Structure 1
Amino acid sequence: MIKILNVDYTSPSSITLEFSDGSTAIFDLQKYLSEHEGPLLQPLHDTAYAQRLFIDCGALCWPNGLELSPARLYEYTHSKKVA
């Protein structure tokens, strides 16, 4: 079971994720927000709020209860890599 071990908010569009398998990936938050919508995602358009991210039980979370699955983030970030 993959988990997120560390996160670093590097810019409004980049969050560096470190996974339990030793890999790292850049999660493009702005691209994700352009592809997904919902009431829990809306506050992430505010940079100050987006920076309040934290890890809980290996998942990427925000104070409003939003939790992004580490497995889905792993799939989302690793499927974009060019072989």
Structure 2
Amino acid sequence: MIYTNLNYWRTGKMRVKENLLTESIPFPKKELFLHVICVEYLDKYQLKLTFNNGIEGIVDLEQELYGEIFEPLKDKSLFQKVYVNSRTIEWPNGADFAPEFLFEIALNKQPVSMVGDPVGYANKM
């Protein structure tokens, strides 16, 4: 997936190109960087995330829990203690993921919806 922002300053939208199809994803004009603004634990290692561009998506992090900082998160009681810090999700042990990485996973899983979009972003894909 390729993210380009050539028209960002003019339109406030980032372009996403995938398999020769192009979708326009809104990006807040006042926000230059992507942030996670809400997290909800679903099941196992799945989280429902809301980003500051209005996209909601589900991420499954089971395959990402390796290495010294992430191994403890295989304990589901710790994994469920996820919270949003100033820009992304974090756990009490200090583990976190870049919001851009989470956004890419969420897009690959098909966004659930676009907050505030009466038509529904998921219906456009």
**TM-score range normalised by the length of the shorter chain:** 0.7 to 0.9
- TM-score between both structures, scaled by the size of structure 1: 0.85
Matched, 1:14 2:46: yes
Q: How far did residue 32 of structure 1 move?
A: 3.0
Which protein is richer in helix relative to its size? 1
Q: Which runs of 4+ in 1 moved over 4 A?
A: none
Structure 1 gaps, min length 5: none
Q: Which amino acid aligns with 1:53?
A: V
Query: 1:1-83 residue pairs with structure 2 within 5 A?
Result: 1-33=33-65, 37-81=66-110, 83=125
Q: CA–CA distance in 1 between the matches of 2:88 and 2:54? A: 16
* Secondary structure of residue in 2 paired with 1:67: coil
Q: CA–CA distance in 1 between the matches of 2:57 and 2:74? A: 21
RMSD, matched Cα: 1.7
Q: How far did residue 68 of structure 1 move?
A: 0.7
Between structure 1 and structure 2, the one with the greater Rg is 2
- TM-score between both structures, scaled by the size of structure 2: 0.58
Matched-pair contact (CA < 8 Å) for 2:58–2:109? no
Render the CA deviation track for 1:13-36: whole Å, top value 9, x for unaligned.
310000111011101122333xxx
- How many residues are paired up? 80
Matched-pair contact (CA < 8 Å) for 1:7–1:18? yes
Ranked by relative contact order (alpha carbons within 8 Å, sequence separation 6 or more), the top structure is 1
